[in-house]
Amino acid sequence: MYVEQLYTGCLAEAAYYIESNGEAAIIDPMRETEPYLKLLEKRGAKLKYVMETHFHADFVSGHLDLAKQTGAKLIFGPTAKPSYSSYIAEDGERFEFGDVEIQVLHTPGHTMESSTFLLIDENGNNKAVFTGDTLFIGDVGRPDLAVKSDLTKEDLAGLLYESLYSKILPLADDVIVYPGHGAGSQCGKNLSSETVSTIGEQRKFNYALQPMTKKQFVEVVTEGIAPPPAYFPENARINREGYQDINEVLKRNLKPLLLESFESAIDGGALILDTRHEDLFEQGSLRYSLNIPLNGQYAIWVGSLIPIDLPLVLITEPGKEHESVLRLARVGFENVLGYLQGGIDTWKNSGKEVQTITSIEPEELMDYIQKDYEVLDVRRSSEAETEHVAGAINISLVELENKMDELEKEGKYVIHCAGGYRSMTASSILKNSGFHNILNVHGGFDKIKNVNNIPLIAGKCPTTLRKEKLEAMKIHD
């Protein structure tokens, strides 16, 4: 028996390849099928099953294309109602391949159709459990993503409690836990950076699996859940109703545009998405372009900040055009009109105007605070409350566009996040909205906290403008 986790870092998503005696099953594949087809070819195996733990909201699965291209049977758990042909398993049903079996455990709670897949080895022993978004390492799935349902998040959390305690926790301590996501996913609130564990370890260390009543579980699991990204419902719909072949999407979207066509698309309402590294973006960019770099959780932030049906044109680094388009398609963004051929150099060489964003080093921050600059912290509130610059304003990146009126356009702002990725995105949003007195901090809070003369405090961070910041900062000579 052979098990391989195929982890996609930018979406914090784990797919699984399980093989026995020349036959294989793949669980929760990403949209592009090529990696799985290559793995099957490399190992000389035939794909028998494509198995989906649920209708994913955070990415478009490759289940349809993979099943079509290989002839594998597509399997969902109980109550799933896809709009295409598939096999809906019964609770407890087993599927054989090679010398092993996978048993379907219906575990509603994250969604109603959510199922967990128990791997039974050649000797009939429970070997591993593929938990999808029901159980994570250090967390459980968020219970607020019910589609077309009258169930509340409290109702779903109650179902999740029953699923965990009746189906998963009875498993032996040495059963391996393979979750659907790791840290960075928006499908939970406390996911570990670890991507493999055991039932025994989770029984000890997962906050949601500690001894508690159902009522206590519902309270602790529903507390502090941030609103889901805007693209989640649309991705769940796509996965439920079906989609166009990924190769057709790439063929249509991966289109080089001459300057005239690029400008025409902008005039027609297309948003300029600049996928270059933030250090390149600050040196020169197009007016009204939004910087979401490929070197971070690009697809997640695109899905969180941009309407899914908005037409896009891209500015990319040379050779990054395919990756930029593919990672958009992974989250259902298919309305890409093309990319500027030659990138930013084409724009500059034509004599077109570029804008820049000034960045400072963390050691310079105190000087600007004393020059009446406000510190704008665009991390999540949970991050800022752990520790933040005294007197800083906290508006998370995902809330920034809707809370712009809490800032003064004529004001002066120094913007930071944790490491510098989100702050450049925030800077591009503010720049496009008419904020011109803005500075970005290289390295973000990770470096700010190492500067001796910057006072830091823990606790709730202000979310509106604070005029008395110098007093609150308790500036020392």
| Distance between CA atoms of residues 368 and 416, nearest Å | 13
As given in the structure block, the two tokens for residue 157 are 């959390």
Task: Name residues of the chain where pLDDT drops below 70.
Answer: 147-149, 464-477
Size of the chain in residues: 477
pLDDT of residue 148: 59
pLDDT tens, position by position, 64-90: 999 999 999 999 999 999 999 999 999
Q: CA geometry: angle at 56 spanning 291 and 41, to 5°?
A: 90
pLDDT of residue 468: 47
Q: Which domains does the chain have, with CATH numbers?
A: 2-233 (3.60.15.10), 244-349 (3.40.250.10), 359-473 (3.40.250.10)
pLDDT of residue 20: 98
Cβ atoms within 10 Å, residue 261: 16
Biggest alpha carbon–alpha carbon distance for the chain: 73
pLDDT of residue 474: 47
Cβ atoms within 10 Å, residue 245: 13
pLDDT of residue 465: 56
pLDDT of residue 147: 63
| Distance between CA atoms of residues 313 and 303, nearest Å | 15
